[in-house]
Structure 1
Amino acid sequence: MTANRHATVLNYLRDHQVATLGTCTDQAPRAAAVFYVNDGFTLFFLSSPTTQHCLNLAKNSRVAVTIQEDYADWLEIKGVQIEGVAHEISGEEEEKARRLYGKKFPVVGKLAQAPAAIVKALARVRWYKIVPHSLFFIDNSVGLGHRDEIDLSPAEKSSP
């Protein structure tokens, strides 16, 4: 994997906003769309702890995540596939997530100017961190079904 491919993937993560989060319990799998922000290959999102996907995380931290656009042409498909773990965060990690999230989503970063419904909803959320164990970048523009595994050595998991 070249440094150029790392930069491509990090730019892709930065330029997109919504991830599909897959969780599971003994009963059934669950998929949910969440807004995210990344720090390197680590993702942060917020959600109500009463949602089914967060209840699932409390029992089983293993997750699958995809990030992609809605493509009409198979040869244009690009996206990210992640397997890893997710957990609720607090303290310094939560402050970092809030700061990064506020830069990407100004409505969260400037709560004094946010609509009342957003402020009320944000009072009920918790912050979560997804740490990838494996990450693949799909790029059909290189070839149909082309998939690069991204090196997730400790130095690569988050940006400096």
Structure 2
Amino acid sequence: MSDPELVEHAQALLARNAYLTLGTVDASGRPWTSPVYFAADGLTDFYWVSSPQARHSRNLAEEAAASLVVFDSTVPPYHGRALYAEGAAHEIDADELDRAVQVYPGPPERGGSALTVADVTGAAAWRLYRARARLVWCSARANPGRPARATGAPTTTACWSNPISERPGTRSCGAGGRPAGRRGGPRGASARGWCRRR
């Protein structure tokens, strides 16, 4: 896939799928994964509603590090596509709630219930959370329909990264970053960043 195709691929995955798998850890490092209905804002911000008593919410209150994956489990074998992200997540602060309830639950056709600030504050049982990705990857098979042992592992490609906080060895992919020998990002890339193979 070319760089613009990767951006479109990532956006399509987010539009087609209603749930993400959220990975959290507690203060001692024990991992936990949870499915949550989500709404995305670009390729970097992922919103969901949970009880503060849910295990993943309690984990995030202790340790903000989070990872997530969005994928379609209904596709045929060996046709899998996925978007992966890592970053930090937390309960939305009061001064950001007006914006958050505009994003969540996404377009009406997704089927989620619209929220007001009152639904996620005060005595309400639910709170609104956001994961903000520091790095985002997409996976795609070079030869869909064939098992990995015959064709090699799926190609995992960096779709977005924050060059201020990226790990060593990961190329700059957005937020104004410009890899050597390239004049900006490709056409069709989001304003937040663009894609480049690792």
Q: TM-score, normalised by structure 1?
A: 0.79
The equivalent residue for 1:149 is 158
Q: Which has the higher contact order (CA 8 A, sep 6+)?
A: 1
- Tell me, what secondary structure is at the counterpart of 2:88? strand
* Runs of at least 5 residues in structure 2 that lack an aligned partner in the other structure: 117-123, 149-153, 162-173, 176-190, 194-198
After superposition, what is the alpha-carbon deviation per residue over 1:3-51, rounded to whole angstroms, capped at 9, x for unaligned?
2321221121122110111111116211111011001021111101111
Aligned-partner residue type, residue 124 of structure 1: A
Match of 1:117 in 2: none
**Alignment CA distance shift 1:71-1:140 (3 Å):** farther
Q: Give % identity.
A: 20
Mean Cα displacement is larger for which, 57-66 or 84-93?
A: 84-93
> Equivalent residues in 2 for 1:111-150 (5 A)?
123-140=124-141, 144=148, 145-150=154-159
The alignment's C-alpha RMSD in Å is 2.7
Equivalent residue number for residue 40 of structure 2: 38
Q: 1:108 corresponds to which residue?
A: 113
Going by fraction, where is strand more abundant, 1 or 2?
1
The 8 Å contact of residues 76 and 141 in structure 1, kept in 2 or not, is answered as no
SS in 1 for 2:47: strand
Q: How many residues align?
A: 149
Q: CA deviation at 1:142?
A: 5.1
The structure 1 segments of at least 4 consecutive aligned residues displaced by more than 3 Å after TM superposition are 71-74, 102-107, 141-144
Q: Which has the larger radius of gyration?
A: 2
SS state at 2:104 partner: helix
1:81 CA drift (Å): 1.1
Q: Which residue of 2 aligns with 1:116?
A: none
Secondary structure of the residue aligned to 2:113 is helix
Q: Give the structure 1 partner of residue 93 of structure 2.
A: 90
44-53 vs 88-97, greater mean Cα deviation: 88-97
Give the Cα separation in 1 of the matches to 2:30 and 2:77. Answer: 30
Greater share of residues in helix? 1
Shift of 1:95: 2.1
- Distance in structure 1 (CA, Å) of the matches to 2:35 and 2:12: 20
Whole-Å Cα distance in 1 between the matches of residues 40 and 75 of structure 2? 26
Q: For each residue in 1:59-94, what CA deviation from the matched residue of structure 2 results, as whole angstroms up to 9, or x when unmatched?
A: 100011011121564430101111110011133522
Q: Distance in 2 between matches of 1:107 and 1:77?
A: 25
